[in-house]
Amino acid sequence: MYLTSETVETLVEQFSKLPTVGRKTAQRLAAYVLKMPREDVVQLAEALVAVKDRVMACTICFNVTDNDPCPICASAKRDRAVICVVEEPNDVLALERTGEYRGLYHVLGGVISPLDGIGPDDLKIRELVARVAGSAGGDGLSEDADEPVTEVILAMNPNVEGDTTAYYIGQLLGALGAQVTRIARGLPIGGDLEYADEATLSRALEGRAGM
């Protein structure tokens, strides 16, 4: 038996399926939707449907896109000799916001995690090796441009799964001639040494640079 509207309860149940959204948050969202103008609700519904109908994975880098190839892969202004490997599409957005990176990307779609049943074959690792080696059989060229891939930057998260994935990819790419690097890890800007854990301090010391 529904204590309020059955329709509202259905909406609450759907919101509750979203990650990090508990029932109370879902109820607040449903209440907000009830107060929204109908045209805004229609636009929200259309946006949700459009995400499923129009968004695809770029066949080169596997980032989410409305057009294939994605704008980054299609851009003539990007440095096609460098590929930055990330776990998820949101990582691409984070790196692009810095305005510092001008190369290409490769989205793995996750990390190696045996406990979760995710192995190398479940990720876009084979496709990454093909991009670096070249589709014509190990000529060191990128699939999407006639320019050698000289550096592969591994931008995995600094945890056990990220380290495992980075090590696995590094071993595969080591024989292909491209330089394999990994983003530095250490103290955040504004952080205090006394509050940093031992692992973070160790990484900061290992990644120290000249002044």
pLDDT tens profile 100-115: 999 999 999 999 999 9
- Provide the CATH number for the domain around residue 17: 1.10.8.420
Q: Which of 23, 101, 88, 93 is nearest to 57 (CA)?
A: 88
Task: Tell me the pTM.
Answer: 0.81
In a shared domain, residues 47 and 141:
no
In a shared domain, residues 94 and 153:
yes
In a shared domain, residues 164 and 74:
yes
Residue 136 has pLDDT above 60, yes or no: no
In a shared domain, residues 43 and 72:
no
In a shared domain, residues 19 and 44:
yes
In a shared domain, residues 85 and 166:
yes
In a shared domain, residues 44 and 89:
no
pLDDT of residue 155: 94
Tokens for 99, please give them. 């305005």
Amino acid sitting at position 92: V
Q: Does residue 117 form part of some domain?
A: yes
CB-based contacts of 62: which residues, under 8 Å, 6+ apart? 106, 107, 108, 109, 124, 127
What's the sign of the alpha-carbon dihedral 85, 89, 95, 99? positive
How many domains are there within the chain?
Answer: 2
CB of 117 closer than 8 Å to CB of 109: no
In a shared domain, residues 36 and 94:
no
Could you tell me the residue range of the domain that residue 45 belongs to? 6-54
Model confidence pLDDT, tens digit, residues 155-203 = 999 899 999 999 999 999 988 878 999 988 887 777 777 777 887 788 7
Lowest mean pLDDT of 38-42, 57-61, 143-147, name the range.
143-147
Residue 145 has pLDDT above 60, yes or no: no
